[in-house]
Structure 1
Amino acid sequence: MKNVLITGLLLFAFIFNSSAQQGSGFGIKAGVNYNANGKYLESTETTYENPERNVGFHVGVFGKIDGKIFFKPELVYTKTKSDYDSDAFIMQKLDAPLLVGVKFLKFFNAFAGPSLQYILDTEFDGVTISEVENDFTVGLNFGFGVSFNSIGIDLRYERGFSENEATFISNNLLEGEGVDKIDTRPDQLILSFSILL
């Protein structure tokens, strides 16, 4: 117990003797996504099926124009997965959040902004989906972050603004007899780790 207390005090002292992630520049980031896409409707059903959330990942770069109020554009490759009963919907996309934030209490920040999204690839139950209503969509990011020296950690929520359906012919139906639909709009929590270079 004594060792835990000493370790905690040393960590606390280190944090408050550090400086926050300061200065303009660029950096790299990566992290995990806790994601669910929209509802799934089989052509043979009359009710939508909600997805189960799953873990994905992201990796990318960012720029930062620093100040009490800062601007942070990002370019991020994201891979997400949503489970529907025994099938999985996998999506790969490029995200470009344009974030404006404010710093407070030296180490902390809050931010928000639009996220431009371009869908690279979608797959459901091993079938590549070519018919996505809009490859380019817009969503919203907002969240909170903490930074020490050149290291930053943030937790944000992302949500697409409008429904964006992907359609495909069901595997068990003859071609042209039925079309299944999935709303590709993201709904996710994103945990990111960043390094300002």
Structure 2
Amino acid sequence: MKKAIIIICLLAGVTTYAQTGTGLGVKGGLNFGATGDLTQSIGNLNSDSSSKLGFHIGAFGKMDFGTLYLRPELIYTRLNSKYGDDDFKMNKLDMPLLVGLNILEPVHIFAGPALQYILDTELEHVKLEDVKNDFTIGFQIGAGVNLSEELGLDIRYERGFSENEAKFVGNDAVERRIDTRPSQIILGLSYKF
């Protein structure tokens, strides 16, 4: 009987903790955005990159303070773009540090800085020199809806505070630059434990 009472008390405590909105969780989703403009240094000609779908997966913590909340995240992101016939791929770790506001019962808005660390970049058919900075800072702003106590859906916009270029020489021996701090739209689904 004592074990049953202890288990009931623990479950009640966990349920109360979950209802406050505070907890840990996992998230994943799709990223849509180009990795910047491809710029030829001779003549300063611009050629826009084509966007391809990328993805992200990671974990988050949420500290709820009633109307306000804090939500730090640690996310692995894979971005894809296409420059002419060449595919550009970038793997990175993102750490958004978001502050949110609960507007209506299920709807919330958020914004905050987004730290980025580039793990790897790859451009087909050409050798990519070192990226200017592996670590950059940007921002995210977005809105979300809580579908249930545990499940949430959000959409956000991300942009860097500054460009972060990588240089390469194409097949035509012309030096080009790619901005590796993208503007992107991020669609995410999260599950809070």
Shift of 1:95: 0.2
Task: Report the equivalent of 1:140.
Answer: 139
Question: CA 1:25–1:195 in structure 2 vs 1: closer, same or farther (change >3 Å)?
Answer: same
Shift of 1:194: 0.4
TM-score (norm 2): 0.84
Task: Report the equivalent of 1:24.
Answer: 22
The structure in which a higher percent of residues are strand is 2
1:182-193 mapped onto 2 (5 Å cutoff): 182-193=178-189
Q: Which runs of 4+ in 1 moved over 4 A?
A: none
Question: CA 1:126–1:195 in structure 2 vs 1: closer, same or farther (change >3 Å)?
Answer: farther
CA distance in 1 between counterparts of 2:73 and 2:80 reads 22
- Given the alignment of the two structures, is residue 62 of structure 1 paired with residue 53 of structure 2, yes or no? no
Task: Report the equivalent of 2:164.
Answer: 164
CA distance in 2 between counterparts of 1:26 and 1:85 reads 42
Query: What code does the residue aligned with 2:185 have?
Result: L
Which structure 1 residue ranges, 5 or more long, are not aligned? 1-19
Q: Is residue 21–residue 196 contact of structure 1 (8 Å, CA) maintained in 2?
A: no
CA distance in 1 between counterparts of 2:109 and 2:42 reads 45
Query: SS at 1:105's partner residue?
Result: coil
Q: Is residue 22–residue 149 contact of structure 1 (8 Å, CA) maintained in 2?
A: no
Query: What code does the residue aligned with 1:169 have?
Result: V
Shift of 1:183: 1.1
CA distance in 2 between counterparts of 1:45 and 1:92 reads 31
CA distance in 1 between counterparts of 2:35 and 2:119 reads 15
TM-score (norm 1): 0.82
Task: Report the equivalent of 1:95.
Answer: 94
1:9-158 mapped onto 2 (5 Å cutoff): 22-42=20-40, 46-67=44-65, 68-127=67-126, 129-147=128-146, 148-158=148-158
C-alpha RMSD over aligned residues: 1.8
Shift of 1:22: 4.2
CA distance in 1 between counterparts of 2:42 and 2:169 reads 12
CA distance in 2 between counterparts of 1:39 and 1:192 reads 25
Question: CA 1:128–1:93 in structure 2 vs 1: closer, same or farther (change >3 Å)?
Answer: farther
CA distance in 1 between counterparts of 2:75 and 2:143 reads 18
1:71-102 deviations in whole A, cap 9, x for unaligned? 00000000011122222211110000000000
Query: What code does the residue aligned with 1:34 have?
Result: F
CA distance in 2 between counterparts of 1:129 and 1:135 reads 14
CA distance in 2 between counterparts of 1:172 and 1:52 reads 20
CA distance in 2 between counterparts of 1:52 and 1:169 reads 19
Question: CA 1:52–1:35 in structure 2 vs 1: closer, same or farther (change >3 Å)?
Answer: same
CA distance in 2 between counterparts of 1:33 and 1:159 reads 13
CA distance in 2 between counterparts of 1:168 and 1:115 reads 27
Shift of 1:43: 5.1
Task: Report the equivalent of 2:191.
Answer: 195
